[in-house]
Amino acid sequence: MPPAQNQNLDYADFDRSDITVRATRLDDAAAITEIMNLPGVRHGTLRQPFQSVEKTRKFIESASPNDIQILAEWRGKIIGNAGLHRKVGRQLHAASLGIGIHDDFAGKGVGSVLLSALIDAADNWHDIRRIELSVFTDNTAGIHLYEKFGFQHEGILRQYAFRNGEYVDAYMMARLRG
């Protein structure tokens, strides 16, 4: 793990204006894995428990040149990651969104910072017209974030995933650029 990740940080003075957004690097794999294995993050994603650093590293390495992978860093600590994964062929205008925010920073605007950066890149640099995602129906904070950025509900995915011993539903949401 990078030395900055081991620092004892005082989260009480967190200010989202101090966040740096940058491209994901291969050497970020350990910090991203730490985030993705947190209970709150895992609860809102399709991640299996106990994801390995190697699996994260392979995911980063396998990114297409058309994918956008970014992260949020605060005082040298990675506190969130997000990506747009562009589709191919006749869906080249579309990308799927994935995002994860460190449990200690959830609800503090990190998701807005990352989503704003991805939408700017999609709209102004990559000509992505459609961004789509799935979100569990009980993830009210995530749903609110997506709605704030213009995502609309397109349907319900019944029994979408097995989580905590039961099948749970998800919404399919998308944002279309005019």
Domain boundaries defined on the chain? 17-132
Write 2-8 long-range contacts (CB < 8 A, 24+). Answer: 2/27, 2/30, 2/31, 2/76, 4/75, 4/76, 4/77, 5/30, 5/31, 5/34, 5/76, 5/77, 5/78, 7/75, 7/76, 7/77
In this structure, of 21-35, 39-53, 84-98, 155-169, the range with the lowest mean pLDDT score is 39-53
Angle, helices 110-124 vs 140-148, to 10°: value is: 40
Please check the confidence at residue 164 and state whether its pLDDT lies above 60. yes
What topology is assigned to 17-132 in CATH? Aminopeptidase (3.40.630)
Give the separation between CA 122 and CA 103, rounded to whole angstroms: 26
pLDDT in tens, 106-150: 999 999 999 999 999 999 999 999 999 999 999 999 999 999 999
What is residue 12's predicted lDDT score, i.e. its pLDDT? 85
